[in-house]
Amino acid sequence: MRKIKIFDTTLRDGEQSPGCSMHITEKLEIAMALEKMHVDVIEAGFAVSSQGDFDAVSKVAAQLKESTVCSLARAVPKDIDMAYEALKHAQSPRIHTFMATSPIHMEYKLKMAPEKVLQTIGDMVRYAKTKMSDIEFSAEDACRSERDFLVKATATAIAAGATVINIPDTVGYTTPMEMVDLITYLRNHVRGIENVILSVHCHNDLGMAAANSLAAVSAGADQVECTINGLGERAGNAAMEEIVMGIHTRKNFYQCLTGVDTTRISSTSKLVYNILGLPIPINKAIVGANAFAHEAGIHQHGVLANRETYEIMTPQSIGLLQNQMVFGKHSGRHAIEKRLNEMGHELNKAELDDLMERFKLLADKKRSINDNDLEALVSKKTQDIENGYKLDRFTVNCGNYVTSNAVVRLQDGEKLVEAVAIGDGPIDAAYKAIDMLIKAPPHVLDDYAIFSVTEGNDALGEVIVRIKSGEKTVTGRGLSTDIIESSIMAYINGLNRLL
């Protein structure tokens, strides 16, 4: 069967979604999880866009051994130089250069005549080729480009040495039938197309990114660009879990497969949601909590008689464990480590020591600890910002006849700093006290949400806050059995990220 290459752009296009910026250590953690899944290509960033992106691409490039690592670059020498500098230590590097080919982008964004666009594509692909052999060219807004011009642009890139031609549906405008038609047309009309990898990159503005990508595969595309959980600009990109499970579940229809280890889908999806502080939509295809849940009596009856009446994939195929395990105060380190491994988490000694410390504290407050609690404890390690402010202690006083007030003490490196404030409720008072202590840039609390991680009175409560400062939006997360404490921790976490 044909093997479809999976190109993940969570760290580049995914990071371009508002509020989804990541730290370099978080990017590295995601890149390593993607490599463990056997993703073929990882787009680690846009090296020229900032020092942070450059450092992230360099670090990912130096660390990964199996996956190809690539950096985005506009079709200008400076971008290509920076991409090369960031990628030069990679085992398998790729420069991904792009230029818009649609009339609207050429006229209003590039302000360039079509002939000049063709010349630049040729020149810049040739220039990139002097740096390394693997060069991808993307014709931005390809699906709204004139066909003849798209044929010329892609043929020019191939003649200049491109090894991969990517067809982006940049604004999520196309339909599956149009996509089949376009890919077939390009395969029949572009000189040299049979010698390169033909790729697609679909956005989800009309909710059709996965359908359009799979349609391209059925018409002969060899690579699909996608992101974990469908993150990305505006409504996002095609979700990797949907593409991979679509091909896996319907391999007889598509007559192809991917090299991705599907049993790592669930843990990688959770890792990305946790790092970004985003709640998992319960009805998200493949990875939402309801994706394998059956509530209606008729469905439950059917599944009990034969699972395949209502399930087209097994929970195990994406790495979900069927039997829930329950732990308590007396559970040992070995058993917990084994369960974490089964759940797809490999922790080093220091991480396990830290998790065990938090496990014991939680076990003192909560009678039984299940897989969701363990997942939450693992995700907590991704929240703490090294060298950031940490909560030391707090007191709140509130009621319907008193003015709420809070005393908050934070650890700032070696020092302890304390403030007291009154507010409109205990959380507002605590947040005002924290604002006196953390000297963050001017900001507003844009959103506050609270979720229960598990069931019962002693459930872990997770708070997610969104903080806006000018153009920048950050999220902060906090987790505790006490919701005031999780609220305080989330705000400190968000401000640390802002700093």
41 in helix, strand or coil? strand
Least distance (Å) from ligand KIV to the CB of residue 233?
7
Q: Examine residue 15 and tell whether it contacts Zn ion (CB under 5 A).
A: no
Stretch that binds ligand KIV, among 162-170, 301-309, 379-387, 468-476 (CB under 6 A): 162-170
176 binds, among ligand KIV, Zn ion, none (CB under 5 to 8 A by kind): none
Nearer to ligand KIV, 72 or 385 (CB): 72
Residues with Cβ within 8 Å of residue 327, at least 6 apart in sequence: 335, 336, 339, 359, 363, 368, 369, 370, 374
Q: Examine residue 140 and tell whether it contacts Zn ion (CB under 5 A).
A: no
Nearer to ligand KIV, 138 or 475 (CB): 138
Which positions from 396 through 425 interact with ligand KIV, judged by CB under 6 A? none
Which of 17, 154, 170, 204 is the binder for ligand KIV (CB under 6 A)?
170
Q: Give the Cα separation of 457 and 459 in Å (integer).
A: 6
Q: Nearest to Zn ion by Cβ — which residue?
A: 13
**Sequence-distant contacts of 249-254: CB under 8 A, at least 24 apart:** 249/312, 249/313, 251/1, 253/218, 254/214, 254/217, 254/218
Q: Give the Cα separation of 283 and 300 in Å (integer).
A: 18
Stretch that binds ligand KIV, among 17-25, 166-174, 390-398, 434-442 (CB under 6 A): 166-174
Nearer to ligand KIV, 50 or 290 (CB): 50
Q: Examine residue 485 and tell whether it contacts Zn ion (CB under 5 A).
A: no
Stretch that binds ligand KIV, among 53-61, 164-172, 294-302, 446-454 (CB under 6 A): 164-172
Nearer to ligand KIV, 72 or 336 (CB): 72
Which positions from 190 through 219 interact with ligand KIV, judged by CB under 6 A? 201, 203
Helix or strand run (H / E) with residue 215: helix 209-218
Q: Examine residue 13 and tell whether it contacts Zn ion (CB under 5 A).
A: yes
Which of 21, 67, 68, 138 is the binder for ligand KIV (CB under 6 A)?
138
CB distance 125 to 162 below 8 Å: yes
Least distance (Å) from ligand KIV to the CB of residue 140?
4
DSSP 279: P
Least distance (Å) from ligand KIV to the CB of residue 167?
9
Which positions from 72 through 111 interact with Zn ion, judged by CB under 5 A? none
Least distance (Å) from ligand KIV to the CB of residue 74?
9
96: β partners: 72, 136
Nearer to Zn ion, 19 or 302 (CB): 19
CB distance 355 to 347 below 8 Å: yes
Give the CA diameter of the chain: 79
Q: Examine residue 13 and tell whether it contacts ligand KIV (CB under 6 A).
A: yes
Q: Which two tokens stand for residue 63?
A: 């660390």
Q: Examine residue 98 and tell whether it contacts ligand KIV (CB under 6 A).
A: yes
Least distance (Å) from ligand KIV to the CB of residue 32?
23
Nearer to Zn ion, 7 or 292 (CB): 7
Q: Which residues of 142-171 are buried (b: 16+ CB within 10 A; e: fewer)?
A: bbbbeeebbbbbbbbbbebbbbbbbbbbbb
Q: Which two tokens stand for residue 139?
A: 């014709």
Stretch that binds Zn ion, among 8-16, 127-135, 318-326, 435-443 (CB under 5 A): 8-16
Residues with Cβ within 8 Å of residue 373, at least 6 apart in sequence: 362, 366, 453, 454, 460
Q: Examine residue 375 and tell whether it contacts ligand KIV (CB under 6 A).
A: no
349 backbone dihedrals φ, ψ, rounded to 5°: -60, -45
Nearer to ligand KIV, 197 or 460 (CB): 197
Strand intervals (E) in 348-429: 390-397, 404-412, 415-423
Q: Which two tokens stand for residue 4?
A: 């479809």
Helix or strand run (H / E) with residue 357: helix 349-365
Nearer to ligand KIV, 138 or 212 (CB): 138
Q: Which two tokens stand for residue 174?
A: 């196309």
Q: Examine residue 53 and tell whether it contacts ligand KIV (CB under 6 A).
A: no
Which of 45, 161, 168, 277 is the binder for ligand KIV (CB under 6 A)?
168
Q: Which residues bind Zn ion (CB under 5 A)?
A: 13
Q: Which residues bind ligand KIV (CB under 6 A)?
A: 13, 72, 98, 138, 140, 166, 168, 170, 201, 203
